[in-house]
Structure 1
């Protein structure tokens, strides 16, 4: 027994570094696996985002630049509530579909599956129509000057008969020379108006970049 003890001690000393390394190796393998899973999740998220954008493009193309029934319903309700409101003006105008299609395509680059952005493009034939639009934009609940342009924001959230929110939505309007431009921004999530105002310069630049 005494002769074997030194051998056992030597063997233990030789094995100790290897045994000590095993936890570190396991940690490294766990880190590698976590990184791999993370990359897979990121790739999947990217695929889902691309699918959502492609679907939005398809839906917008199917409408040929015309506003959805949901957006038209928003304008109809606003117009019935007040003939002097901006929705009454919008409901009378005609959508310039070819331009709206191109703006819609550019806007798809910044939305996710919870958001639907529809561009509004109408022609203002005379100075009186342009002046009337300017006045109605100034009367909107919130007006911000962005790059020298007055931009109006109005909450047009939809409610059901029980008074519950069914869809959070905002109307954004501005004038670019002889055109009335706007966006109907709808989301299944509650829209934060301050965040939208922060995003507005980017939205406007995407829309006006097509003109």
Structure 2
């Protein structure tokens, strides 16, 4: 019984343009490039865009944690000290980077295999980043759910646009004299 998480593509890819070892090296230089040259272009573009986005968000979170510091190592030290979840995220990003290199090797070696674990890894890293950026407190999320229920009920249903209110139309008329003069006409009796 094979327990590897793999996806067999419905449309068979052509053989790789580069040998597996070179695909792995190219993905180490630019994540996703090895996959692109192994003729899994869509996969390579997704990996490149995902990894670039993840790195950008991580740099932003580290820089945001230590806004007033200017020295590179002081910023990193303070960010990891203030937000320990960044250590877990950093480890996950390194593992993702290594997995992208391995994935390029596998894709270039065998056109029939397409490991899917890497996509789960990308989703996990994005989830952790979103959790950290949104500053979600899972304990407060569970223990203070009763406090949030009234506000959530107003937001979720019925929202204002889902309810139809009766419309009232008013017509108003005003006589305006143009140009205005000093001796205005007397008001019109009703």
TM-score after normalising by structure 2: 0.27
- Structure ranking higher in strand proportion: 1
Higher RCO, 1 vs 2 (CA within 8 Å, ≥6 residues apart): 2
TM-score after normalising by structure 1: 0.25
